[in-house]
Chains A and B, each alone.
Chain A
Amino acid sequence: MSVRVYTSSKSYRAGQFFGGLIVSLIIIAVASLLPLLPWYKLNPVLDFIGLHPWLNAFLKAFVVVNFVALHVLFLIWLERKFAGWMQARLGPKHVGWQGLGQTLADAIKLFLKEDIVPAKADRQLFAIAPFLSFMPTLLTFMVLPFSAAWIAYDYDLGALFVVAVSTNVALGVLAAGWGANNKYSILGGARAVAQLLSYEIPMVMMILAVVTLSDTMSMKQIVLRQAHMWNIVAYWPVMIPAFLIFLTCALAELNRTPFDLPEAESELVSGFHTEYSGMRFAFFYLAEFANNFFSAGFAVTLFFGGWYGPILPPVVWFTLKTLILICVMMWIRWTLPRLRIDQVMGFCWKVLVPISLVIYCITALIALK
């Protein structure tokens, strides 16, 4: 009888890691070439559109929505590939090159699936919940500055707008948990709302710290102030802890491990989206990953100098930084176990809120000076 010989798993994993790195680098290289294309030939068209407010708005919305949708396709692939690399397996491999088409295939499958609504569900609430949780996420992309020019709407109160809008995600989650009329979903929804609202506080505090230092709420202006030095470097004694708190809160807002209690698979059987299938489920996924991209992008805007960077075009720099931050989030997700609900809440109220208050006071003093 033959024995299967296992070669050293370490070299195998290293091979996977570097293979993945090369794949990512190729993608980034291709992305960085895009701005070199002769886009200026479109200028007359863009001028024409710019003169028509309705057309302008429509086009911007079109670009944002499609960007989000396409990016989510890529992000889901990246998440699965990343999980594969971390877990000593290959991840998606069969649909398209390196499995890049896997998410598309999954999305098509989900859209073709029967839309099941449980008999005792609150139909309206159940139907509207996925969109309730997707809409705020989509709206936040409106003020995300990919570069000085690539921002859908440079709102004066951009940071405030983000805070105000993104909180509404909780509404969608609660609606999903309640509407499905499933006890697991209700527990998941209740957990989600408690967690989202609690972690909003230190998060807002950290946004406020940056806003105080930058003296503006406009997302574009916040980045422009970092033209010479990133916030996290310029004010490192306060900004490094501020960034860490922001990252922690972002993980909690995104329901990612170690804060994935609302959709804890092993306890609540996916929590608030237990009963969802097909397209509605896909929308929850879309919202989650879009939110993931936005949170990382927001962190880049606040702490890592947005689009600024040498050689490469600004949009690429922004995307690159965001992707790195997303990879850090994925790294955390696939490493850590899950906390318990009382520990999550205790951590927020007993640790994060006091620390963030102190940090905010210090930044206020710096700003005063």
Chain B
Amino acid sequence: MPLTSTEISSPGMTINMGPQHPSTHGVLRLLVELDGEVVHSCRPVIGYLHRGLEKMFEARPYRQCIPFTDRLDYLAALNNNLAISQAVERVGNIAVPDRAQYIRVMLCEMNRIASHLVFIGTYATDIGATTVFLYAFRDREKMLDLLEMMTGARLTYNWIRPGGVPTDLPEGFEKAVRSVFEELKVTLDENNRLLTGNRIFRVRTEGIGVISKEHAIAWGATGPVIRGSGVPYDIRKIAPYEVYDRLDFDVPVFDQGDCMARYLVRIEEIRQSMRIVEQCFKDMPEGEIMTKMPKIFRPPAGQAYSRTESPRGELSFFMVSDGSLNPVRVHVRAPSFIHLSMLPDLLKGVKVADVIAILGSLDTVLGEVDR
């Protein structure tokens, strides 16, 4: 039966965006109630990718948990590796050698660049500029090649371990990184000219999806989302881990709180990350890269948590140990999960096209949301 006219004009027209939709960035389902083009209400439905990873951690020795974390935020797998390694190190009181810390920081920052490049590309596609997508992915390809050179993998690295890192830098790595960064600095400016200065891109993102400072804090937003709302909340600065307190970098903060601000924060973060990596090369000491770890690792009973700044926000692993081989409980505080919970509030009264713009600007990864 064709729809009748009353069915269309009634405010109750529900559009089911996802789980298969080009712009939900994974298997997110948004139940959007529309009045014409205006969104009445929106209800995110998640759990399509729920694999029970937190439960699976409970059945595995600590070190075997790491491959699973690659599958949480698959765009920044190293940052997840780092977060869980830190939690294990805290619960087991393990110290990490200096050189390993530098290597960790360096690689996480490179992964952050790769992740933000994906954001630029996909966000541009969401807004409708398809060309930027390929430019951004071309740059990301180079970053992935560097990470492959280091870790041997391109997406799921499974590389940072409790106690350090398994391998030292390969030969010629610094040179390769520098040459890629030289190009990236140029292409980043090119992309910036193509997108940031673009009038259409600006009218689509400025003043859209505004999150006020108070709102962002109350809802627990972190990462580029809260920094786009004018709160300088960056774990790397307020609670420095690894060697971040020895590195010189700025935290970009924009006050507008709209999609444009969140986008600009990420662009600027790419530049800062490049700065950090270059400093790491300069400051890195020689020495061990792995602490001596017992073959059978039994941390003392207790609880510990790690706080790290992943590309999406505050990624924190909470770990409970009872002195046995396996953790009793591992909880992931996934930033995307918190950001998605803001969505119903953000989407009230916006146009359909803005749904995509706002969702894209939060840069959620569903692997992390559903765990």
Stretch at the interface among A163-171, A239-247, A333-341: A333-341
Interface residue A184 (Cβ < 8 Å from any Cβ of B): yes
Q: Mark A294-319, 1 if CB is under 8 A from B, else 0.
A: 00000000000000000000000000
> Closest approach, in angstroms, between the C-beta of A189 and any C-beta of chain B?
11
Provided the pairs A88-B135, A187-B352 are in contact, do residues A257 and B128 lie with their beta carbons within 8 angstroms? yes
> Closest approach, in angstroms, between the C-beta of B20 and any C-beta of chain A?
9
Interface residue A261 (Cβ < 8 Å from any Cβ of B): yes
**Choice from B22, B34, B128, B134 contacting A337 with Cβ under 8 Å:** B128
Which positions 175-231 of chain A face chain B at CB distance < 8 Å?
A: 178-179, 181, 183-184, 186-187, 191
B128 touches A269 (CB 8 A): no
**Complex CA–CA separation, A178 to B23 (angstroms):** 23
Q: How many residues of B contact A (CB 8 A)?
A: 45
Interface residue A266 (Cβ < 8 Å from any Cβ of B): yes
A9 touches B2 (CB 8 A): no
B351 touches A266 (CB 8 A): no
Interface residue A100 (Cβ < 8 Å from any Cβ of B): no
B128 touches A343 (CB 8 A): no
**Choice from B3, B149, B204 contacting A339 with Cβ under 8 Å:** B204
Interface residue A87 (Cβ < 8 Å from any Cβ of B): yes
B3 touches A6 (CB 8 A): no
A186 touches B3 (CB 8 A): yes
How many of chain A's residues touch chain B, expressed as a range?
Answer: 35 or more
**Complex CA–CA separation, A283 to B42 (angstroms):** 36
Q: Mark A113-138, 1 if CB is under 8 A from B, else 0.
A: 00000001110010000000000000
Interface residue A1 (Cβ < 8 Å from any Cβ of B): yes
B131 touches A3 (CB 8 A): no
**Complex CA–CA separation, A320 to B131 (angstroms):** 26
Interface residue A156 (Cβ < 8 Å from any Cβ of B): no
Interface residue B37 (Cβ < 8 Å from any Cβ of A): yes
Provided the pairs A120-B1, A186-B3 are in contact, do residues A336 and B129 lie with their beta carbons within 8 angstroms? yes
B residues near A121, Cβ cutoff 8 Å:
2
Interface residue B8 (Cβ < 8 Å from any Cβ of A): yes
B residues near A6, Cβ cutoff 8 Å:
142, 180, 183
Interface residue B15 (Cβ < 8 Å from any Cβ of A): yes
**Complex CA–CA separation, A8 to B138 (angstroms):** 12
A residues near B8, Cβ cutoff 8 Å:
186
Interface residue B153 (Cβ < 8 Å from any Cβ of A): no
> Closest approach, in angstroms, between the C-beta of B22 and any C-beta of chain A?
6
Which positions 83-134 of chain B face chain A at CB distance < 8 Å?
A: 124-131, 134
Provided the pairs A6-B142, A88-B134, A88-B135 are in contact, do residues A341 and B204 lie with their beta carbons within 8 angstroms? no
Stretch at the interface among B45-53, B193-201, B275-283, B328-336: B193-201
**Complex CA–CA separation, A352 to B77 (angstroms):** 49
B176 touches A266 (CB 8 A): no
Given A1-B170, A179-B2, A266-B125, 7 other A-B residues pairs in contact with their CB atoms under 8 A: A1-B152, A183-B13, A187-B37, A187-B352, A191-B37, A337-B198, A339-B204
In the A-B complex, list the 10 residue pairs whose CB atoms are closest, starting with the nearest.
Answer: A338-B128, A337-B129, A87-B134, A122-B2, A337-B127, A337-B128, A266-B23, A340-B353, A266-B126, A337-B201
Which residues of B come within 8 Å of A, CB atoms?
1-3, 8, 13, 15, 21-23, 34, 37, 124-131, 134-135, 138, 142, 145, 149, 152, 170, 172, 176, 180, 183, 187, 194-195, 198, 200-201, 203-204, 351-356
